Chain A
C-alpha cells in the first residue's frame, strides 16, 4: 500500500498520543450514540498516521456528526449544511500539504449535499470523507433520511416514507470514487484500520460508517453488530481472499447467472474453487458494484471492508502540474508586464 506524502513528524519529535487529539470541549452527543466510538477510534488512530497535528483539518457540515471537529484538537471548521465537501476542496487546493477530513452524515452528504458529494468523488482531491450513516435525521429530532428504508415511520412520515433509499457505496462508485469502504461504529478494530487505509489512499477516500442512533433509530444495524448474528449477516472484504462468512466461515459467495449465491465455503477437497475472490484494486468497477449491490439483495450478507481502492491523479496534483507547466512555458507571472499587456499607447 502506498503511503502518503503528507509531511511527517521530523525524527526526534515527541510521539503523539490519543490525548493530544482531544480538545478541551465537552463532548455532547446522546448517551450510547455511535459517534462516541467513531470519535475515540479516530483520536486513537491519528498518532499512527505519522503527521503533525497542525497539518490536520477536520471539516464538517451540519448534523449530529458534524459537531465532530469541535472535539478534535486539530484545525477544524464546522460549516453549513451539506457544503463541507466544497469548503474542504478549497482548503486542500489552497494548501495540498494538509491532511483534510470531511465529517458528514447521511442527510448532510446525500440529501442537502448530494450534488457536492458526487462531484467531490469524481474530482478526486486527496481528502477523506467519513460518512456517519444512521439512516435518520437526529439533530432535527427524527425524520427519515435518504438512507432510511422505504416505508419507515417517522415524525415526518407517520404513514411510512414513500422513497427508496440510496446505497451510499453504489453512489460513490458511480461517481468515480477511487476509494470506497464501509465499517461499523461497533467494530473498533476494523474501524481504526479502515480509517487508516482511507488516510493512506492517495485520492478521495469514502468511508461509510454504520452508526447507531439510540434515540431515533435504535439498533438499525444490530443484525450486523450483534455477536450472535453478525457473522451470518456480514461478509468481510479482504483483498485476494474468497468471500466467506458464517460462524465457522463455512459459507461462501459465488456468482450464479449474474447474481450472488450463498454456497458452502468448502467442498469435499477442502477448498471451494468457484467462490468470488475479492480484488479491491481492480480498475473496472464491476466487482465493486456487484458487492455494493449485495446490500440490497435479500438473504445476502452485508459486505464490510474496502470495496475499491485504485490510483488516479488527484485534482490538486493536476492543478499543481498545470501551474508548473504554465510557469515553465511563460515564466513566473510578472504583474507589471501583465498590466501592460496587449496594445498600449503612451501619452507624454
Chain B
C-alpha cells in the first residue's frame, strides 16, 4: 500500500557532507528536478575554499541549500525542514539551521569514534538526548550503498562515491519527485564511463525503494507547482546567466566577443561558460594574470570588438590601473566583478557586497565608471546585457557588480524572446566628417560619446593613450583648462547615462514609514521581508538599485517620500555612505559582514525596531 502523501506549500532542504561527498551534485540535481516539475526554487551553495579539506573535519563541510515552493520565492530559505548530514562534522556545522521537529537524515556509518572526534563531539550525539526535538532518521547510507552495488564489480571506493545518489533517491521519494531527470543527467555525465551510469542509477533507485519499504518513513510530501507567468523556463545560476547575457549582447550588436580571464573564485565559471561557445565566434583567453586579462579586453575594444573581463575583488584591485586607461581612452569594455568576502584573499567561497566603494573610487584621478548590479541569479542576464549596451553606446568601461550569492545561486528563469532584447548599435566611425581630418574626441552632442574608429578603417588613423588628451583633437595636452574640462566632460558623460533609465520601481507603499533601499544580491531577502509587511498593510516599501553609478534621476525624490530609509547591505555601510553624501539625508544601515546572506528574520527584526520608535 502506498504511504500517505501530505500537501505542503514549501520546503527547504540542506545537503551537507565532506567536500568530496557530492552534496553540491545532488543539491543541483534536486534543484533541476524541482524546477522542471514547476516549483519556484532558490539555492545557496556553501562550500569551503579548500578543494578537499581533511576528511571529516569541520573545515571541510560542504553544503547545498535549496528552497522550493508553490508560491513565488526570492531566497534559499532562513531555516531548513530537512538536513541531510553525511557525517558528524556536517551535523555540527549545520544543525542550528534545522527547525524544531525538522527531518534529520544522518549517515550513521560515518559516526564512528574517529569522525566524532574530528567534529569535536565528545560523545555520539545520536545516542544522547540532544536531538530529541528533531525527527531523526539514522540510515546506514554507506553499507546500504555497498550492498546495492556488490554485484557491479566496483571497488569499495568507487561504490562509496555513489552514496550521494542513494541520499538523493531518498529525498526524491520524500518529496514525491520523479527520478528520471537525475537518471538522464547521470547518463550524460558518465557517457564515457558507463560503469558509473549503472552504479549511480542503482544507488538512486535503492535510496528511493528504501524509503518506500522501511517503516521509518511513514509519510511523504508534495509541493504543488507554483504559478508562473506564461513562457518557457529553465533553471539558471547567476554566472551562467551572465555568460548568456554576454553572448547575447555580442550577437545582437554583431560584435566579436573577446573575454580575457584569469581563474578566480567565484568568477571562473564565466570563463568556463564562455569557452564553450566558440561556434558563436566567442574568443576566450586565459591570460597570465588579471592585468593581462583586462589588457586583452581593452585591446579587443580598440580593435572594434566587445572586450570583456571578469574577476573578483582581488583581481579587480590588480585590474584597476588598466580599467582607468579604458576610462580615459573612452573604450567600451565590461568588467564583471563577482564579489566575495574580503579584504585581501578574505573568504573566497563566501559572499559579500564590500567592493562597492572600490568600484566607485578605487582608481587614481577623477575616474567615473558606470556600475550595474544584478539583483538575483536570472537578473544577471539582463543586467550584463545592459552593461554591454551602456559600454558601447557611451564608449566607456562598465562594471557589472555581481556577487557569489547570486553568481552561484540558481532559480527558474523565463527565457526572453530575442525580439525583447534592446538593440545595440556600435555605430563605428567610417569617415572623417570634418574638414580637419579625423578628430577622435569630437563627441556626440547628446551622449558625449566619442567616435569609435576601428583600425583598418581608411583615413581614421589616430593615436590614443593614457596621457590627458585635448578636447576634440585628441592630441596630448597638458593645458590646465583643457584638463579640467575633460574631467568634467567624462563625469557628465557618465551622469547622462541615467537619462536612459526607466522610472524606478517602488514596491509596496509609495510613501510612508520606511523605505528599504537595497542593491545587488540582497534583493531576495529584502523583497520577502517587505512583502510580509505589505500583506499586512504596513507602509513599508522596497527600492532595489540596479544602477549604482549613476543613480537614477528620480531616486532623490523617492527617498524624500519616506520618514526613514533603511539600507541593508552585506558590508559595513557602503551604499549608505554614497546615499548620505549624494542626497544629504540620514539613512539607517543594517549591516552584516559574515560571508553569509541576510536571513529574512534579520530584516524583520530591524524593521520592527524602527517601526516601534
Cα distance A115–B24 in the bound complex, in angstroms: 36
Stretch at the interface among A83-91, A129-137, A272-280, A304-312: A83-91
If A78-B464, A87-B298 touch, whether A95 touches B36 (CB-CB below 8 Å) is no
Question: Quick one: closest A residue to B297, CB to CB?
Answer: A90
B531 within 8 A of A: no
- A332-B279 in contact (CB<8A): yes
**Candidates B299, B457, B476; contact of A54 at CB < 8 Å:** B457
B307 within 8 A of A: yes
* Proximity string of chain B (224-235) to chain A, C-beta cutoff 8 Å, 1 when within and 0 when not: 000011111111
Cα distance A85–B459 in the bound complex, in angstroms: 26
Cα distance A327–B282 in the bound complex, in angstroms: 11
A251 within 8 A of B: no
Q: Which of B275-313 contact A (CB under 8 A)?
A: 277-283, 285, 287-289, 291-305, 307
Number of residues of chain A lying within 8 A (CB) of chain B: 63
Q: Which chain B positions have C-beta within 8 A of A329?
A: 279
- A323-B278 in contact (CB<8A): yes
**Nearest Cβ on chain B to A89's Cβ, whole angstroms:** 5
- B288-A344 in contact (CB<8A): no
Q: Which chain A positions have C-beta within 8 A of B282?
A: 333
- B458-A78 in contact (CB<8A): no
- A89-B285 in contact (CB<8A): yes
B16 within 8 A of A: no
Cα distance A93–B231 in the bound complex, in angstroms: 39
If A91-B455, A340-B232 touch, whether A80 touches B463 (CB-CB below 8 Å) is no
**Candidates A75, A89, A94, A348; contact of B461 at CB < 8 Å:** A75
Q: Which of B35, B233, B304 has the most CB of A within 10 A?
A: B233
- A90-B230 in contact (CB<8A): no
Question: Quick one: closest A residue to B234, CB to CB?
Answer: A344
If A75-B455, A323-B281 touch, whether A69 touches B463 (CB-CB below 8 Å) is yes
B186 within 8 A of A: no
- A94-B299 in contact (CB<8A): yes
Q: Which chain B positions have C-beta within 8 A of A336?
A: 418
If A54-B460, A323-B278 touch, whether A79 touches B289 (CB-CB below 8 Å) is no
Cα distance A180–B260 in the bound complex, in angstroms: 27
Q: Which of B36, B283, B461 has the most CB of A within 10 A?
A: B461
* Proximity string of chain A (103-120) to chain B, C-beta cutoff 8 Å, 1 when within and 0 when not: 000000000000110110
Count of A-B residue pairs with CB < 8 Å: 215
**Nearest Cβ on chain A to B609's Cβ, whole angstroms:** 40
* Proximity string of chain B (320-342) to chain A, C-beta cutoff 8 Å, 1 when within and 0 when not: 01100100010000000000000
- A76-B279 in contact (CB<8A): no
- A93-B300 in contact (CB<8A): yes
Q: Which chain B positions have C-beta within 8 A of A268?
A: none
Cα distance A11–B43 in the bound complex, in angstroms: 63
Question: Quick one: closest B residue to A89, CB to CB?
Answer: B296
A70 within 8 A of B: yes
Q: Which chain B positions have C-beta within 8 A of A322?
A: 278
Q: Which of A62, A70, A85, A343 has the most CB of B within 10 A?
A: A343
B181 within 8 A of A: yes
Stretch at the interface among B244-252, B394-402, B557-565: B244-252
Cα distance A55–B252 in the bound complex, in angstroms: 26
The prevalent SS among residues of B at the interface is mixed
Question: Quick one: closest A residue to B285, CB to CB?
Answer: A93
Cα distance A97–B455 in the bound complex, in angstroms: 10
If A78-B465, A339-B416, A344-B234 touch, whether A90 touches B251 (CB-CB below 8 Å) is no
Q: Which chain A positions have C-beta within 8 A of B304?
A: 94-95
Cα distance A344–B321 in the bound complex, in angstroms: 42
- A54-B455 in contact (CB<8A): yes
- A55-B456 in contact (CB<8A): yes
A77 within 8 A of B: yes
B454 within 8 A of A: yes
If A90-B302, A91-B299 touch, whether A119 touches B464 (CB-CB below 8 Å) is no
- B325-A342 in contact (CB<8A): no
**Nearest Cβ on chain A to B191's Cβ, whole angstroms:** 16
Cα distance A348–B301 in the bound complex, in angstroms: 42
- A339-B464 in contact (CB<8A): no
* Proximity string of chain B (565-609) to chain A, C-beta cutoff 8 Å, 1 when within and 0 when not: 000000000000000000000000000000000000000000000
Cα distance A325–B466 in the bound complex, in angstroms: 38
- B454-A95 in contact (CB<8A): yes
B462 within 8 A of A: yes
- A331-B279 in contact (CB<8A): yes
Cα distance A338–B251 in the bound complex, in angstroms: 11
Q: Which of B279, B287, B321, B454 has the most CB of A within 10 A?
A: B279
Q: Which chain B positions have C-beta within 8 A of A78?
A: 463-467
Cα distance A118–B287 in the bound complex, in angstroms: 12
If A90-B299, A330-B279 touch, whether A335 touches B461 (CB-CB below 8 Å) is no
**Candidates B228, B234, B280; contact of A342 at CB < 8 Å:** B234
**Candidates A77, A319, A335, A347; contact of B247 at CB < 8 Å:** A335
**Nearest Cβ on chain A to B307's Cβ, whole angstroms:** 6
**Nearest Cβ on chain B to A51's Cβ, whole angstroms:** 11
- B232-A346 in contact (CB<8A): yes
List 25 A-B pairs, Cβ < 8 Å. A53-B461, A57-B302, A69-B465, A76-B464, A78-B465, A80-B321, A80-B466, A86-B287, A87-B302, A89-B299, A90-B295, A90-B300, A90-B307, A91-B302, A93-B296, A95-B304, A95-B454, A116-B291, A116-B295, A119-B288, A326-B279, A335-B251, A339-B248, A347-B231, A348-B230
B residues at A contact (CB < 8 Å): 32, 35-36, 38, 181, 228-235, 244, 247-248, 251-252, 256, 258, 260, 277-283, 285, 287-289, 291-305, 307, 321-322, 325, 329, 415-416, 418, 454-467, 475-476
